[in-house]
Amino acid sequence: MELLYGPIRDYAWGSRSALALLQGRPVPSAGPEAELWLGAHPGAPAMVERAGLQVSLCDLVRDEPGQWLGTRVSDRFGSRLPFLLKVLAADAPLSLQAHPDAEQARAGYEAEAGRPAAERNYSDPHHKPELLVALTPFEALCGFRPPVESAEALASFGVPVLAPVMEALRAGSPGLRTAVRTLLAWPAGERDELLSAVVAAPADGPDAELARRLAAAYPGDPGVLVALLLHHVRLVPGEAIWMPAGNLHAYLSGCGVEIMAASDNVLRGGLTPKRVDVDELLRVLRFEVLEDPVRAAQPVGPGVDWWPVPVDDFALHRVRVGTAVPSVTLSLPGPRVVLCGSGAVTVDDGAGAVTLVSGQAAIGDAAGAPLRIGGAGEAYVATSGLR
């Protein structure tokens, strides 16, 4: 195993305490810290030490795919690490967004070839399903809830101009597309008046509180009302949310471990000053109710559990070792990235052992022996989903 040094992205919505506390640094941090990246994504690759120098994992994977990926993964995904492991820390709501499936990503990327970067929706030809596991209480919007519930939420504000949206929603799932398009295409000159009426309405309850909170963060943004069409999810540590292609979602607050297919393809739908391509978003979205966005961990052995997902780009296991379970052995082939979430763990892949404390990570040779993890702490092990 070799230590992995991940960069921290300083997006404005990031926390000034969560990642610092995870890594045992002074709080508050000098500025917002949003995401710790532990992968080989060219946008912010993690580093591995070589002869006293730090070398990009992106370069190592490209130049030595057999060592870092293994034959099966490189045959399936080429000379790139197919997943990106992150720790995400949100102090403010992120944008409403969705990601394309693999076919949509390929087609979109090819269709936009030659366009200026600022006018592109697709930066690569890959899909981007995501799984997030809460490290702290975590709040998110994830997937469409039953449209009739959304209609009642909008009706509670008593704003007459929303009547066409409520009518569409009362038609069930077939009306979701109409409702989303109507809200996102609301005339720019009338958005402030609409949201002012919603915020000033005497409505009470979670939907009203959420609308007022989002409107304060994003004045005049029609995504405030689109957010009310989604499940409002509150996770406890260890619970996860799965975000497949075409699923509209947004993180609101909290810290979690996130694993995703390595892609930058994001279609935004509001709660952002960035570009929103309504037509392309509507083409990508799946207008169907997501019955249950929350996934509980499933045990696979003493001290080990995981959150199974229906993709082969990634898999995520959690290992908890201590007095009851002094050590575990995981036979996981292919690239293996290990993050210590708390305490201290020792990880050995047969080629060498490293001890990780909270917030540290390591990567193992794809052809190494089964991972042996001991100590007293919690670790997250990211691999490809190929078995």
**What is the crossing angle of helices 176-184 and 147-155, to 10°?**
40
Query: What's the first-to-final CA gap in the chain, in angstroms?
Result: 21
Annotated catalytic residue within 80, 120, 212, 268: 268
Contact indicator for 341, 378 with CB cutoff of 8 Å: yes
Contact indicator for 215, 195 with CB cutoff of 8 Å: yes
Contact indicator for 133, 316 with CB cutoff of 8 Å: yes
Cα–Cα distance, 354 to 379 (Å, whole number): 13
Cα–Cα distance, 233 to 176 (Å, whole number): 20
Q: What are phi and psi of 362, to 5 degrees?
A: -145, 160
- DSSP string across 277-298: -HHHHHHH---SB-S--EE--E
Q: Is 225 helix (H, G, I), strand (E, B) or coil?
A: helix
Q: Is 310 helix (H, G, I), strand (E, B) or coil?
A: coil
- What residue type is assigned to position 192 of the chain? D
Q: Tell the residue number behind the tokens 């469409």, with chain if given.
A: 144
Contact indicator for 366, 67 with CB cutoff of 8 Å: yes
Contact indicator for 295, 241 with CB cutoff of 8 Å: yes
- Annotated catalytic residue 268: yes
Cα–Cα distance, 308 to 295 (Å, whole number): 9
Contact indicator for 375, 345 with CB cutoff of 8 Å: yes
Residue 382 CA: distances (Å) to CA of 38, 41, 186, 228, 367 = 10, 15, 42, 33, 15
Residues annotated as catalytic are 268
